Structure formats: C-alpha cells, structure tokens
Structure 1
C-alpha cells in the first residue's frame, strides 16, 4: 500500500523511520535508502539513489489512517517484546521485533498479495510505475510527478511515463475538443 500510494523505491520505503513521517501534516521525508545486505550493522542506511531522491512528499488521509493503525500495532509489539524489540531502528516497515525487513520478506509478501488477488507476477518496482501512471491519469503535471518520484530531470519522467496510459490520451483529446468547441462558438 505504501509503495503504490507514494511511488517510493523499495529501499526508500524500507528505510523509513517514524521520525521521517509527519502524520499531523501528511508528509513523508525521503532521505535515505536501506542497504539490505550491509557489511556492518551500522551501515544499514545509505544515501538515496541520487541527490534529487531526497524529497518530501504528501500523503492522502487514508494513508495517514493506515500508518496510525500500523503504528498502534507496532506499539503493541514493543510493549510485548520490551527489551527484545529493536527500538533504535525505529522503522516503519519492519519485522515484528523491529528489525529490518530482508529483501526476500518484502518480495515474498508482495508475491502473496498478488497471488491472493489473482494478479500475475510483476516486479515490486511496478508499484512505483503504477503510482506515476495514476498521477498522470489524475491530471497531475509531469514536473510535479518528477519531483515526487525524485527523478533527476523532467525528461526522465516524461520518457518513462508519458506514453503509458490510453486514458491520458482520451482525456486530453476530450479537453482539447471541449476547448476548440468553445473557441468556435
């Protein structure tokens, strides 16, 4: 849910700490990436993919509500496990003991969701693409999408996403048709 709602890369989402999320104002600071196989435990967090990948994005109220629910669930685990909970990581997406989620767990959970929904296997990165297409279909500006996804240039965003949706073309043609009809009146 978090990946499709935000367009974050998997490493960005798994590196999210509660201090990166402002539930009151509906904002997420994306400022690091998780190294799934660090050489040393203290090297678990790394820099985002590019310098433009560091960004703040807004989230919908439904995502805020889901995150609050998830936070309550985590707090129950913290109370139950006490000193056996990995408090110092403060991760949003983690194992029940607060430890970081291995890449295989993330991929396996995603595959189980797809299987239950009857959707063929797709890469988890497809959720990022889906997010961008949904934004385009909603009529969002390509510059906004570029900043939200943390792309280095608008050209990258345009090249990857602008041709994807038939709905975008249909809506655009409909708006153009309405505009031309008003001009010709």
Structure 2
C-alpha cells in the first residue's frame, strides 16, 4: 500500500454520486393525495403508515394484526416483505432494525376501523374468504403453512402487494402533478415533522430504525432555518 496515492480532497469522481434528493410532502399535497386515495382504497393505509409512522415500504406490507397492541397504542416492527422467485416472503427488517413504536390516536382509530371491516368481510365471504399462510420458506401463499393475519388485504382476504404503490405514485406524479415524490418521501416527511417539532433526535432514530444517528441527523438539512430560529429563541429566553 506504500505506492498507493490517495485522491486529493478536491478530486471529482468519474461516476457522479447517486444519492437521491429528498423531498417533503406538504400538508396540502398530502390532503390531495388522501382525497384521491380515500379510506378503503388499497393504497390509503400504506400511505398513512409511512406518513404518520415513518415505516419503510417492506415494513408496511408485513404488518399483521398480532403486531398491533391497541391497549398500549404500539406497533411492533419485526419483519419486512421482499420479492423473489415469484413469491413475496418475510425477511428481517433492514439493518435488523426491529423496534416497537408508539402510534397516535388517529392511526389507532383507522386501524380499528380496518379490523372491524375485515371481520365483517370474513363473515360476508364465508368459505370463499381467502386465508393467507406462510410456509417454512417464509413465503406468503394461500395453500400451505401457518395462517397469518395481515393488515393490508383486500375485502376477500387476498394480499395487497407492495407493487400497488407503483400505480399509486404514477397517479400522484401524472394526475396530481407531484412528480418528485415517492414512497420514501412520506417517511422522510414524518422524520422532518418530528424534528421540526423538537422531538428528541435519539428517539426519532429509534422510531425510524436508522442504523446510525448520522442518518437521522442528515434530515436536519431540511429544517436548518427553523432549527436556527428555535435555537435563537432559547438563547434569548434562557441565557442572560
């Protein structure tokens, strides 16, 4: 390694950095999005879970009713779904970021409504209601394995796949005109709202399942001006 020369600090890489620009979803935009995908639509709950809970896409579509504690108002994030060999299957969370997060009253009430509706649907469809299962390969299917009770399902019990969000965002891009937004924008917006409101940075990191605090701190770039104003207010009020 004695002959290896390190690049100069001012050196420009041949391949540009592929770091994706982060975008915030405004309240007005979110209102329009939920107006287009209202309660009962297959995209409604996944949109809300990212926006109000900060979940990743794979985590959202892996939630079962057993993961939700209605009494303690908590959600246990312990797996995600991925696609391989023509199957959706359960796998560990990204960076093995299992966690239990608090859920607000609004989301809690929405989940209660969904659970009540699913119980009604199950009675209505009777023997024709689809029972989802997971086999020893952790694949989600309708034939073999232990029965599972996923939250994101259609009225007949079939699984709502994460790919539904591709169609959702095509509409958001080309019908609503919000071309720069994607599913991760909702998670990023959730983080930004918490930090802007003064939430503890370590608590936010744990809530999002970030591996390192630096990842969470990176979000500060979007709230710098607001943070500066709050810092100045603290200085004016508390330091003589």
Q: TM-score, normalised by structure 2?
A: 0.67
By how many angstroms is 1:118 displaced? 5.9
By how many angstroms is 1:149 displaced? 0.6
Aligned residues: 177
RMSD over aligned Cα, in angstroms?
Answer: 2.2
Change (3 A) 1:113 1:27: farther
Give distance in 2, aligned partners of 1:77 and 1:65. Answer: 18
Q: For residues 86-165 of structure 1, what are the structure 2 equivalents within 5 Å?
A: 86-87=130-131, 88-112=147-171, 119-158=178-217, 160-165=218-223
Larger radius of gyration: 2
By how many angstroms is 1:48 displaced? 0.6
Give distance in 1, aligned partners of 2:193 and 2:173. Answer: 19
Deviations 1:101-141 (A, max 9, x none): 22331232355467776644511111110010011011011
Name whichever of 9-18 and 120-129 sits farther off: 120-129
Which sections of structure 1, spanning at least 5 residues, go unmatched?
none
Q: TM-score, normalised by structure 1?
A: 0.85
Deviations 1:60-119 (A, max 9, x none): 111111110111121222112223333333111223332322233123235546777664
Which sections of structure 2, spanning at least 5 residues, go unmatched?
1-47, 132-146
* Structure 2 SS opposite 1:57: strand
